[in-house]
Amino acid sequence: MKFTIKHEIPGRLRVHFPMKCFSFREADTLEYYLKGSDGINEVKVYERTADAVVRYSCDKVRIIDIIKAFSFEKVQVPEKVFEYSGRELSARYYDKLVTSVILHYGKRLIIPPDIRILWVILKDFKYVWRGIKTLKNKKLQVELLDAIAITAAILTGDYKTASSVMFLLKIGDTLEEWTHKRSVDDLARRMSLNIDKVWLRTEDGEVLTDSSDISCGDNVVVRMGNMIPFDAEVVSGEAMVNQASMTGESEAVHKNTGMSVFAGTVIEEGELTIRVTQTEGCGRFDKIVKMIEESEKLKSSLESKAERLADRLVPYTLAASALTWLLFRNITKAVSVLMVDYSCALKMAMPISVLSAIKEASEYDITVKGGRFLEAVAEADTIVLDKTGTLTKAQPTVVRVISFNDESEDELLRQAACLEEHFPHSVARAVVDAAQVKGLVHDELHTKVEYIVAHGIASGINDERAVIGSYHFVIEDEEATIPEDKKEMFDRLPDEYSQLYFAKNGLLCACILIEDPMRKEAGNVIEKLRAQGFERIVMMTGDSERTAKRISSQAGITEYYAEVLPEDKAKYVEKAKQKGGRVIMVGDGINDSPALSASDAGIAISDGAEIARQIADITISSDDLEAIVILRMISTMLMKRIRFNYRTIVSFNTALIVLGVAGILPPAASALLHNSSTVALGLKSMTELIPKKQK
């Protein structure tokens, strides 16, 4: 496609396309195409000017070739990209703001003064009705103050002040609504489905299939710990389904044959075969938005406290205005008090601060499900970290398979992969990947598989009971025996690797050695977390004592617990909370779910089990523990901003009231300063908490 370069600096190009403007769909298509190209780090497409800004880390000639190759007709964009785009929303509110400003100042030039006065009086009825409605609800709220202030200005003949107050209130409402809507939509997009593969049940068995190839009427198998990918009806099986993302219910719901299930919910226990009833356009995005907007979890305690204070201050403002009139018999001074209220600023700045912080966190691939959890992260003194997939790499690898029977290592790996491929765990993926690298085809050899949380998997292969999992599960619980002639080899198993045991009919068949190295950034992150004020940094793992000791030592963690069960992690969290601590839990697996739920803020890392991400209050999509440090920084800065806003609003508006009562500020000036400061504080609350130089 033809284009011209409008501006360039090293690593950045601004290009213009030969058209007056883009449609929203065209702009989204171009952005989708450029973001999916290698070497391009960041893209911003401006639909109004048909421009695009591209930041890149490769050769400039390559970027030019990429843009030249673009064509709207050739690019296939998933429909959900358009569905989840916030471009049209932003354009709508931008137009709304610009129109309001043009109309407000333009009518002074066009409309005669007498008609403008009549227009102001007519508009006042809207605010009066709002104020009356609060009285009908037996509440004194800021809407009543607005109505009295505007009406008082009109009665005193100060129509300019009344018009300015209504204009600033409208601008403030629009800015607040825009910021809230954008932040909620961004959060909803982060929470939306991102499932690439599903298990399709066919006449020949289960086949791993692209989710985009699934049609209505297909049967899909969903197992424990996995997310239900489509709206569907249960064909067979039964399970406990966590529906918190859709309904807000805290307790899992029992599902069996004939019942409906919803996309985005997660199976906590059991297994279901579902018949898909809806694939695209199921309205999940809208459902999530509604759930977020109605959820009290969105509010931190500081935010809720400020809003409660805002409502409580309304009667005092009214009383102060009445007292001013009684003392001075001066309607101008009384109106000056009414022109200033704390509620408007408190109710605008606080939610915007929280939602902007949530949005800023999303730019670092951090999804926060409510302001309450940012507050918990800011105040936490204890952080509990899982080992596998959290402190260690999310992609462990199989180093070797050691056979303890007559079967070959490749055959044992093939059987192990056949069992492990159904379950969402990083170690399971390592086994499946190792078999794939060797080209080992592992068709369905087994009977129904059973997943035992934090232990392993049990099934049947060729009429033999097969189990695979930890030492505790296979050797101790299942009492698998080690062949007499292999005991010396078993005792010499290397300590530097995690060990996965595979047994059939009570006899140990193989030990799979898993390399699970610590993340390179883990040690540095632990140091930073300690510097950020965490008094206790704890590692908990179901792995062996020797492995736990090695990883904790490398990471610089002095307190660790090995061979723990899921309930042990949750009990530790509960005990720490009972002692008055604020605890956050970081994990990625099904076995971390109870602790994630019990903590003040549960954080799910990277591409762990869906149930962990669903239960968690915060999810981190980036494969870098540094995100935890950034999250703590954003949370701490947010709390500072909320406190600053609170102090600023109270002190500034108190000063305005005092100056008004003293007769120094007339009502018009009080209204202008109050509303201007409210909008300014709202805009300031939308700015980044972490300066760019720290990013």
Which residue range is the domain that position 468 belongs to?
397-515
Q: What is the pLDDT of residue 282?
A: 46
Tokens of 662: 């003293």
82 within a domain of the structure (yes/no):
no
What CA–CA distance (Å, rounded) separates 93 from 81?
20
Q: What is the pLDDT of residue 572?
A: 93
Do 168 and 302 share a domain, yes or no?
yes
Do 123 and 205 share a domain, yes or no?
no
Do 318 and 234 share a domain, yes or no?
no
Return the higher-pLDDT residue of 236 and 308. 236
| For residue 585, pLDDT beyond 90 | yes
pLDDT in tens, 315-333: 877 888 888 888 887 777 7
630 within a domain of the structure (yes/no):
no
Q: What is the pLDDT of residue 509?
A: 94
Q: What is the pLDDT of residue 693?
A: 47
What CA–CA distance (Å, rounded) separates 596 from 616?
6
Do 170 and 243 share a domain, yes or no?
no
| For residue 102, pLDDT beyond 70 | yes
- Mean pLDDT computed over 12-16: 93
Instruction: Count CB atoms within 10 A of the CB of residue 644.
Output: 15
Final residue in a domain of this structure, among 593, 621, 649? 621
pLDDT in tens, 234-253: 999 888 887 765 555 556 78
Give the CATH number, domain containing residue 65: 3.30.70.100
86 within a domain of the structure (yes/no):
no
Tokens of 445: 């050899």
Do 142 and 283 share a domain, yes or no?
no
To which residue do tokens 């000017």 refer? Answer: 49
- Mean pLDDT computed over 282-293: 54
Q: Distance of CA 519 to CAs 563, 624, 630, 674, Å?
A: 21, 8, 17, 51
CA dihedral 474, 476, 478, 481 (to 10 degrees): 80
631 within a domain of the structure (yes/no):
no
Q: How confident is the model at residue 576 (pLDDT cuts 50, 70, 90)?
A: very high
Q: What is the pLDDT of residue 283?
A: 47
522 within a domain of the structure (yes/no):
yes
pLDDT in tens, 33-72: 998 888 898 899 999 999 999 999 888 899 999 999 999 9
Do 257 and 311 share a domain, yes or no?
no
Average model confidence (pLDDT) for the chain? 82
Q: What is the pLDDT of residue 53?
A: 93
Range with the largest mean pLDDT of 84-93, 172-181, 421-430, 627-636: 627-636
| Residue 407 near residue 440 (C-beta atoms within 8 A) | no
629 within a domain of the structure (yes/no):
no
DSSP 262-312: -TT-EEEEEEEEEEEEE-S---HHHHHHHHHHH-GGGS-HHHHHHHHHHHH
In whole angstroms, what separates CA 403 from the centre of its chain?
A: 44
244 within a domain of the structure (yes/no):
yes
Do 440 and 429 share a domain, yes or no?
yes
Q: Which of 109-113, 526-530, 558-562 has the lowest mean pLDDT?
A: 109-113
pLDDT in tens, 370-390: 788 999 999 999 999 988 778
Residue 666 has φ and ψ, to the nearest 5°, of -75, 165
Do 502 and 643 share a domain, yes or no?
no
580: left (phi over 0), alpha (psi -120 to 50) or beta: left
Final residue in a domain of this structure, among 288, 304, 330? 288
Final residue in a domain of this structure, among 249, 271, 288? 288
| Residue 598 near residue 570 (C-beta atoms within 8 A) | yes
35 within a domain of the structure (yes/no):
yes
Do 167 and 230 share a domain, yes or no?
no
Q: Which amino acid is at 519?
A: R
Do 510 and 527 share a domain, yes or no?
no
DSSP conformation class of 47: T
Give the CATH number, domain containing residue 478: 3.40.1110.10
DSSP conformation class of 227: B
Q: What is the pLDDT of residue 379?
A: 93
Do 385 and 401 share a domain, yes or no?
no
| For residue 637, pLDDT beyond 50 | yes
Do 474 and 499 share a domain, yes or no?
yes
- Mean pLDDT computed over 261-278: 84
Count up the domains in the chain and report the number. Answer: 5
Q: How confident is the model at residue 695 (pLDDT cuts 50, 70, 90)?
A: very low
